[in-house]
Structure 1
Amino acid sequence: MFILKQKKKLLVVIMILIAATTIILSFALKKDDAIATINGEAITKDQLYNEMVKQYGSDTVDQLIADKIVAAEAKKQKITISNSELEEQVQKLQDSYGGEEAFSQALESNNTTLKALKKDMKNYLMIKELLTPEIEITEEEMKTYFEENKDSFVQAEQVKASHILVADEKTANEVKQKLANGSDFAELAKAYSTDASTKDQGGELGYFSKGEMVTEFDNVAFALPVNQISDPVKTEYGYHIIKVEAKKAAIEANYDNSKAQIKETLLEQKIDTEYTTWLEDKKKDYDIENTLAEG
């Protein structure tokens, strides 16, 4: 996979429920059923269930109670989250990880699924709708945030490029000759590139700034004119043929252009800090009995 530096963009929007939740709630118990044996001694489903409840039960039940309260409050206020809204947010999260493959790997490493993620995302969006009317964000707060984080609002020079990655110089020269003879870059990427994350998209890398790729790749990509194709470029990953498709000039930080982004960031920060207080206050309106907590 051609991600050349460990500079991963992370967008922490929601907390993903641990996979154990489903296991705890869906376990069909028959006390005498053995799920494993050691020297003939059985480990039963009942033993597994009890151990999982000890480890995860209390936190899981607390989360389920919170989810029920959020759903009930959303229903009271006629708040609904459409499928299109949900898909839009999931797509933004996927884009922040650099594409579908990296996103799928992130889900796997967090021991969760897209279905579970969507469930938690929907819950978060309902929380956001419920709390937003109660949150005030002043112009002074936004200006202060901008000044303290000005560097993050600078847009560095960016290049949009595609590449074909091959293992050796001989193959790279062969691809370069085919391009010189008029072959299509995207089709050659699909046929030759060893970068599994981009080859099916014709080698497209999208826009990137300096420092996101290894130095040898960066130097050529930023020096190459738009619509030009490079000679083979050697990096630790092999040999690249690079095609520059577009460029964006650097843009200085501008408060007016960044206000919407700043407001959204501050809103999410305040939701994160005020949600616990809001939830504890709402719990007073509900008759809650948690036998697990009592035990």
Structure 2
Amino acid sequence: MTKKWLYPLVIAVILVIVTGCSQGNEEIVAKVGDEKITKEELYDTLVKASGQQALDIMIEDKVIAMELKKEKVTVSDEEVEAELATQIESVGGEEAFAAALEQGGITEKEFKDSITEYLSIREVVEPRIDITDEDTKAYFDENKESLSTEDQVEASHILVEDEATAKEIAKKLANGEDFATLAKEHSTDTGSAEKGGELGYFSHGKMVAEFEEEAFSMEIDAISEPVKTEHGYHIIHVTDKKAAKEAVYEDSKEDIEKLLLEEQMQTAYTDWMDEAKEKYDIENSLLGK
């Protein structure tokens, strides 16, 4: 489904088109020496580059708004906040989410407005999709191996450049100092250091060989001696382990249904939009330019 927050350049074009249509065409927007660039020239360039795409999105937005109003679709604040929390978690937390918004040039309010639109559309489109038991069972049978889980280790680490520093930190840990605090203070892996050294769960093949070999051989709650890898010296704290688990259909069914639903949403949305557009007299003066 089309998500407006994924198109910051197109949105910028839309804004230029709107302002370009509402003000004098000879307005000067830039100068290079004595040469002038007018708003009309800028408008024409942007229309040729992305104008049709931008206008198509604006037309769809108008159709969506009219159809949702006709259907009297409403989305609660709780639903929006729940979806927002899911999106924040999917990108790696609040800081990563804020960085993504800044990079995309949108505000959290604009993002939440887009979520509201997406959930509203989903409410209308989802009833068109029928996921049967045969569908989920067929997917399970075809993907059973990938749905199974390997044995995993949950660990934290403190990474430093030299062995002397690593031994100093190991001594502090042996004397009872807090692992997370020392990770924040000393670890050169800034991504995990902010989280007290936490790396989460990982399976075989995800870490460098020396690190992985040590982590999988350790007991839960154990702290390693310094381990040398190509990145430096690690002190590893194993916090949990999960045994390998073969996929079971009943345990996987709900997740498969959600996956198949998302896969079919785009087609269902396109069909719904095509049908909705047929209800309105749409004129597009950019066509043919």
**TM-score, normalization: structure 1?**
0.84
- Write the distance in 2 (CA, Å) between the matches of 1:265 and 1:289: 37
Displacement, 1:131?
A: 1.1
Instruction: Name the residue aligned to 1:232.
Output: 226
User: Structure 2 vs 1, CA of residues 90 and 46 (structure 1 numbering), >3 Å: closer, same or farther?
Assistant: same
Q: Is the 8 A contact 2:166 2:234 kept in 1?
A: yes
Residue number among 26, 30, 49 corresponding to 2:15 in the alignment: 26
Instruction: Name the residue aligned to 1:9.
Output: none
Instruction: Write the letter of the residue equivalent to 2:282.
Output: I
Instruction: Name the residue aligned to 2:203.
Output: 209
CA RMSD of aligned residues (A): 2.6
SS in 2 for 1:292: coil
Residue number among 142, 147, 169 corresponding to 2:141 in the alignment: 147
Displacement, 1:103?
A: 5.2
Q: Where does 1:1-295 land on structure 2 (aligned, <5 Å)?
A: 16-27=5-16, 28-29=19-20, 31-37=26-32, 39-100=33-94, 111=104, 113=106, 115=108, 117-293=111-287, 295=289
Instruction: Write the letter of the residue equivalent to 1:22.
Output: I
Structure 1, residues 1-55: CA drift from partner, whole Å, max 9, x if none? xxxxxxxxxxx99574321233223334563324241x43223333222211211
Q: Is the 8 A contact 2:167 2:226 kept in 1?
A: yes
SS in 1 for 2:202: strand
User: Structure 2 vs 1, CA of residues 213 and 24 (structure 1 numbering), >3 Å: closer, same or farther?
Assistant: same
- Write the distance in 2 (CA, Å) between the matches of 1:140 and 1:250: 27
- Write the distance in 2 (CA, Å) between the matches of 1:147 and 1:124: 31
More moved, 69-78 vs 95-104: 95-104
- Write the distance in 1 (CA, Å) between the matches of 2:29 and 2:121: 42
Structure 1, residues 248-270: CA drift from partner, whole Å, max 9, x if none? 22111111111111111111111
User: Structure 2 vs 1, CA of residues 40 and 207 (structure 1 numbering), >3 Å: closer, same or farther?
Assistant: same
- Write the distance in 2 (CA, Å) between the matches of 1:132 and 1:205: 37
Number of equivalences? 282
- Write the distance in 1 (CA, Å) between the matches of 2:163 and 2:76: 51
Give structure 2 stretches of 5+ with no counterpart: none
- Write the distance in 2 (CA, Å) between the matches of 1:289 and 1:71: 17
- Write the distance in 1 (CA, Å) between the matches of 2:66 and 2:227: 58
- Write the distance in 2 (CA, Å) between the matches of 1:183 and 1:148: 49
User: Structure 2 vs 1, CA of residues 234 and 100 (structure 1 numbering), >3 Å: closer, same or farther?
Assistant: farther
User: Structure 2 vs 1, CA of residues 212 and 289 (structure 1 numbering), >3 Å: closer, same or farther?
Assistant: same
**TM-score, normalization: structure 2?**
0.86
Q: Is the 8 A contact 1:18 1:112 kept in 2?
A: no
More moved, 118-127 vs 183-192: 118-127
Displacement, 1:273?
A: 1.7
- Write the distance in 2 (CA, Å) between the matches of 1:123 and 1:216: 48
User: Structure 2 vs 1, CA of residues 239 and 191 (structure 1 numbering), >3 Å: closer, same or farther?
Assistant: same
- Write the distance in 1 (CA, Å) between the matches of 2:278 and 2:193: 56
User: Structure 2 vs 1, CA of residues 36 and 185 (structure 1 numbering), >3 Å: closer, same or farther?
Assistant: farther
Displacement, 1:294?
A: 6.1
Q: Is the 8 A contact 2:14 2:54 kept in 1?
A: no
| Larger relative helix fraction | 2
Q: Is the 8 A contact 1:101 1:197 kept in 2?
A: no
User: Structure 2 vs 1, CA of residues 121 and 233 (structure 1 numbering), >3 Å: closer, same or farther?
Assistant: farther
- Write the distance in 2 (CA, Å) between the matches of 1:133 and 1:47: 46
Q: Is the 8 A contact 2:14 2:55 kept in 1?
A: no
Rg larger for: 2
- Write the distance in 2 (CA, Å) between the matches of 1:41 and 1:209: 61
Displacement, 1:61?
A: 1.4
